[in-house]
Amino acid sequence: MSLRKSVLAVLFCSTLAAAGQATADVTGEVTVVSDYLFRGVTQTDEKPALQAGITWEHESGFYVGGWGSSISWLADSDPDISSQVELDVFLGYAGEFGGSGVGYDVGANYYWYPGSYPAGFNKADTVELYVGLSWNVLSAKYSYATTDLFGIDDSSGSGALDLGADWEFEGGWSAGVGYGRQWVSGYGGELDYDYWKVSAGKSFENGFGVGVEWHDTDIGGLKDTFLLSLSKSF
């Protein structure tokens, strides 16, 4: 087991042990999307993906969970790579500053891409630390990579800023807008880019939900993308 995996395993177990028998909630979701986009870039060559996640939330504010998705971008980049799935493990702490209505969220996310790789290949496995703030419909989140960023050589220290506004309406309707910027350390701004999206959705009392999103970036040669999603929460 690598050092990064060991640290996350220890943190995971420590969080559960500290919780004891206190009140906690477990939530999950299974989703089918017409395209899996991460920070504006397709991870499935514009093809559908199956995704699922589960989160354990303690009443104190601690949470831990996992999320996974089918992918193709690694195998598309090199036929000798067998990885076809992304598995994430995350843990953090969320709360509110007194009675201000301003929320905060701090944590870590480990992106794991299991599979076989050719000799000398810089694996895409990545650890990011994040801190987020929210108020009313507004949110901001900054992520900092403590490893190379998704296999890019010498890119440790890269960062991403996500800003968003999300509204919920009667009848289960929702809408949102988002803007983000990815900085890739070590390349003098050559790989930095902006991305943005607009979304709308509808949730039902039986736990099902449908959504539509429009994504775009300022990366040359990449076109904007519409995606559809169908989800079931539990």
Please report the domains of the chain, with CATH numbers, ordered by start residue.
Answer: 3-233 (2.40.160.40)
Distance between CA atoms of 196 and 168, rounded to whole angstroms?
20
What pLDDT is stored for residue 12 in this prediction?
47
Q: Tens of pLDDT along 167-198?
A: 999 999 999 999 999 999 999 999 999 999 99
What b/e string do you get for 27-60 counting C-beta neighbours within 10 Å, with b at 16 or more? eebebebbbbbbbbbbbbeeeebebebebbbbee
Give, for 40, the enclosing helix (H) or strand (E). none
Closest CA to 37 of 234, 211, 233: 211
What pLDDT is stored for residue 155 in this prediction?
98
Taken in order 49, 180, 67, 191, the sign of the CA dihedral is: positive
User: Tokens representing 71?
Assistant: 């992918």
What pLDDT is stored for residue 22 in this prediction?
58
Count Cβ atoms within 10 A of the Cβ of residue 166 and give its class: 0-12 exposed, 13-18 middle, 19 or more buried.
Answer: middle
Q: Tens of pLDDT along 13-67?
A: 444 444 445 589 999 999 999 999 999 999 999 999 999 999 999 999 999 999 9
Distance between CA atoms of 141 and 148, rounded to whole angstroms?
20
Closest CA to 27 of 77, 65, 76, 69: 65
Q: How confident is the model at residue 142 (pLDDT cuts 50, 70, 90)?
A: very high
Let me know the angle formed at the C-alpha of 110 by 105 and 112, rounded to the nearest 5 degrees.
150
Given a contact cutoff of 8 angstroms between Cβ atoms, the answer to whether 146 and 156 are in contact is yes
Q: Tens of pLDDT along 71-118?
A: 999 999 999 999 999 999 999 999 999 989 999 999 999 999 999 999
Percent of the chain at pLDDT exceeding 70: 91
Given a contact cutoff of 8 angstroms between Cβ atoms, the answer to whether 19 and 217 are in contact is no
Q: What is the mean pLDDT of the chain?
A: 92
